[in-house]
Amino acid sequence: MKTTKRQAVTKHGDLNGLPADLLAWFDRHGRDLPWRTALGERRDPYRVWLAEIMLQQTTIPHGTPYFLTFTQRWPTVEALAAAKDEEVMTAWAGLGYYARARNLLKCAREIAERGSWPETAAELKKLPGIGPYTAGAIAAIAFNQPAAAVDGNVDRVFARLLALKGNWADEKKRLHAEVERLVPAKRPGDFAEALMDLGATVCTPTKPNCLICPVSDYCLAKAEGEPERYPIKPPKKAKPIRRGAAYVAVHKGEVLLQRRPDKGLLGGMLGLPTSDWVEGERPEPSPPFKASWEEIGDVRHVFTHFDLRLTVQRADVSRRPNADGVWVPLDEVEGLPSVFAKAFRLATAG
């Protein structure tokens, strides 16, 4: 009797055979990343945790240099815990989502104070800045705990495997339960990393490469012929636009920088003086001091919840004005958050 496509997809009955097939593929094709160790070697929880925090909302090519810098400068969680806040925030600049950096320090100091890492996902979730995914990843990868690590890559892989078409919030619960059920007792960390690699390199958001996928026989979306339509999520809301101004004040080869308040967006970071950032019309000018300000142009930066448009203004002054902040030589300006780095480059180009 001829085997139908549907029968071929469901030849295992369910996904029970998937972990073994996926791990066999991972043993041959797993990515070589600086926070990973050779197969079978114990992972350092500090390096696992640091990588997971850095790679939230960040690509591997962008995040890797930061990981290497941090681990060279602060090779242990105790070393990071002892670092000054401003040093860590400056080293983090350019990675974005600066609340992660503040929580990174809080978490490091809590671990250093307790003297050891908790090893279960439930205990790890109690630490600052560690959510369900990160807790599961650390527990599985660093401590060989049978924990699930479900990120966006894993959501996409299992939405396709199961061809989930219902309400996304409900389907995510089903998806997470299925991942948890499949975590193998002997290699939970490798399973977590294998799923990450599969989603990042094979089962990609667009043009998934089903021909080389090690688990395509299980995939109902492939059987339908439209894997790229999954996951089916509600449309994203348009981000509001906020507007403001950034001020680049230059005096004898130095620029004025100001420390932002500890709480709030970009809290504790050194940046350019700015106006308020408001929705609607551009706010009234609010430079840090009176001067002949020249409008240079605009920069745009995308935050998690809004788009920001800043008009960049520059003033060259012959006398150092009385203004809050510090004056830094132009050629020594580094570690600015991306939005301020864009404004600074625009105002000092040429």
Percent of the chain at pLDDT exceeding 70: 96
Same domain flag for 129 and 48: yes
Domain count, the chain: 2
- 24 and 118 in a single domain? The answer is yes
Domain boundary among 229, 258, 273: 229
Catalytic residue status for 52: yes
- Domain assignment present for residue 21? The answer is yes
pLDDT exceeds 70 at position 109: yes
Computed on alpha carbons and rounded to an integer, the radius of gyration of the chain in Å comes to 24
Q: Residue 33: inside a domain, yes or no?
A: yes
Pairing state between β 241-251 and 278-279:
antiparallel
Query: What letter would DSSP give residue 324?
Result: S
Distance CA 105, CA 81 (A): 6
Percent of the chain, pLDDT > 90? 69
Say yes or no: 42 and 138 in one domain.
yes
Residue whose entry in the numeric block shows the structure tokens 């699930």: 148
Least confident of 1-15, 94-108, 109-123, 181-195: 1-15
Give me the mean pLDDT over the 74-102 stretch: 89
CATH code of the domain containing 245:
3.90.79.10
* Pair 123, 202 in one domain: yes
Residue carrying structure tokens 């902040």: 325
Examine residue 281 and state whether it is found in any structural domain, yes or no: yes
Residue 149 resides in a domain:
yes
Q: Do 222 and 338 sit in the same domain of this protein?
A: no
Helices (H) and strands (E) in the chain, counts: 14, 7
User: Domain limits at 303?
Assistant: 241-348
pTM for the full model?
0.78
- The yes-or-no verdict on residue 3 having pLDDT over 60 is no
Q: State yes or no: pLDDT of 208 exceeds 50.
A: yes
Question: What pLDDT, in 10s, does the model give residues 246-298?
Answer: 999 999 999 999 988 877 777 778 889 999 899 988 888 889 999 999 999 99
Residues 143 and 94 in one domain: yes
Both 223 and 260 in one domain: the answer is no
* pLDDT score recorded for residue 1: 39
246, 255 Cβ separation under 8 angstroms: no
Whether 209 and 254 map to the same domain: the answer is no
> For residue range 7-63, what is the model confidence (pLDDT) as tens digits?
444 444 489 999 999 999 999 999 999 999 877 678 899 999 999 999 988 889 999
**Which of 176, 206, 229 is the last residue before a domain boundary?**
229
How does DSSP assign 207-269, residue by residue?
S--GGG-TTGGG-HHHHHT-GGG-S--PPPPPPPEEEEEEEEEEETTEEEEEEPPSSSTTTT-
Backbone angles phi, psi at 326, to 5 degrees: -130, 150
Q: How confident is the model at residue 90 (pLDDT cuts 50, 70, 90)?
A: confident
Residue 2 forms part of a structural domain:
no
Q: To the nearest 5 percent, what fractions of the chain are helix, strand and coil?
A: 45, 15, 45
Pair (142, 190) in one structural domain: yes
CATH number of the domain bearing residue 49: 1.10.340.30
User: Out of 52, 171, 178, 193, which one is annotated catalytic?
Assistant: 52
Do 31 and 140 have their domain in common? yes
Work out the average pLDDT over 106-118. 95
Any domain includes 236? no
Q: Who wins on pLDDT, 222 or 268?
A: 222
